[in-house]
Structure formats: structure tokens, C-alpha cells
Amino acid sequence: MSREHREKSEEHPKGPGKPSVVSSSASAAAAPEESDAAVNEISIPRGDAGVAASGEQVEKLQAEKQELMNMLVRRQADFENYRKRVEKERHQDRERGIELLIEKILPVLDAMDNALGAEHDTPGAEEYRKGFELIRRQLWDVLAKQGVSRIETTGEQFNPHFHHAIESVEGTEHAGGTVISELQPGYMFHDRVVRPAMVRVAAETEQKAAGISKRNN
């Protein structure tokens, strides 16, 4: 065998035990086809099915957002109600504390009124009286600024919410149920009665009661 024929045989070996060699260009051509097939398998659905899926997802997110907004509004309303309730309770506690203090001060005010109403013939009594009047006025100004007011009595119609009848007096020229005198003053703190006034009330006479009953018939 010639040298030239032997070189050609080595370049292109044949036989069943020798695998064929695939060129790199053929492998490169096959790779893009396999890649495209994989991409098509995992791609997002397109067409009407994809649009429907996206729409459902948007609606679900909007519903969740609305639910969260509603929850936030409810929480804000609950907090606002809680804040108002706490402020109201705090205000009531403050007023109750002032009311308790006023109840303790009223006997001092009564003692001053009694002292000012008494007659004194001792020397210098008038000077003491002026001093008591000044102290009493200052004390009342403090109470009035806190919302204390005196209950009207004499000449008013008896009201069990504001008056406490100690005595019913007959044979008076006043109409029945009229307060004719005050034994102890009553006071209110804003719209609440701290102490009802102790009063005498004109009684209904039999003649007046008979006349009223006759008119009603």
C-alpha cells in the first residue's frame, strides 16, 4: 500500500466499531429548535384565556384592596368612638370631683350666711361683718365660676326635683303648692342638684280644693 493511500485511510476510518463524528455546525443548528420548544411550553397563556385570567386576578386584587379599606375605616371609627368615650368619662370624673368638693364647702357657706344673718350688738361687730361679707363674696365667686347656682325658692311653685318640703302651712294667702319661705338654701352644679332647698309650702285649703274640684267638673 502506498503512503498516500494509507494517509487517506487514517483520515476517514471505517468499520462497525468507529462512531461517526457530528460536526459542530449541526449541533448548533439543533440547539435553537430545542430552546424554542422549551420556551413555548412555559410561556404565559395568550389570547382570550390569558386575558380572562388576568381580569380575574385584577378583580381579586381590587376586592382585597376594598376589604382592607373597609377594615381601615372601621378601625378608625372604633378608635374615634373610643377617644370620645374616654374624653367624656374623663370630663365626668372631673365634674364629679368638683361636685364632691362643693358638697363639702356648702356647710361653710351656710355657716357664713348664718353668721351674717345674726344680729350683734358688741363693739366692732360691724367691722367683722364687713370682713365676713367680703370673704363670703369671694367664696361664692369661686363656686359660681365652677358652675354652681342657687335654687330659687320663695314665691316659686313647689318642685320636688329642686325643693324638699319640711312643713306645709295652712291659712296663708298664697296659692296651694307655693313656696312661702326657705329654711336652707339649695344649690345646683350645672344641671345637677347638689342639694335641694328645704322650704315651707302653702297647703291647699278645703275651700280652695272644693272650688278647684267644682271647676274641673
pLDDT of the chain along its 217 residues, tens only? 445 555 545 544 444 444 444 444 444 444 445 545 444 444 445 556 666 778 788 888 888 889 999 999 999 999 999 999 999 899 888 888 889 999 999 999 998 888 888 777 777 778 888 888 999 999 999 999 999 999 999 999 999 999 999 999 987 788 889 999 999 999 999 989 999 999 999 987 654 544 444 444 4
β-strand pairing of 187-189 with 148-150: antiparallel
| Residue the block writes with cell 357657706 | 109
What pTM value is reported for the model? 0.57
Alpha-carbon span 125 to 3, nearest angstrom: 160
Strands (E), 80-152: 148-150
- Measured CA to CA in angstroms, residue 45 lies from 40, 48, 53, 123, 178 at distances of 10, 9, 9, 114, 94
Alpha-carbon span 168 to 170, nearest angstrom: 7
In this structure, the number of other CB atoms found within 10 A of the CB of residue 196 comes to 20
The domains of the chain, with CATH numbers, are 148-206 (2.30.22.10)
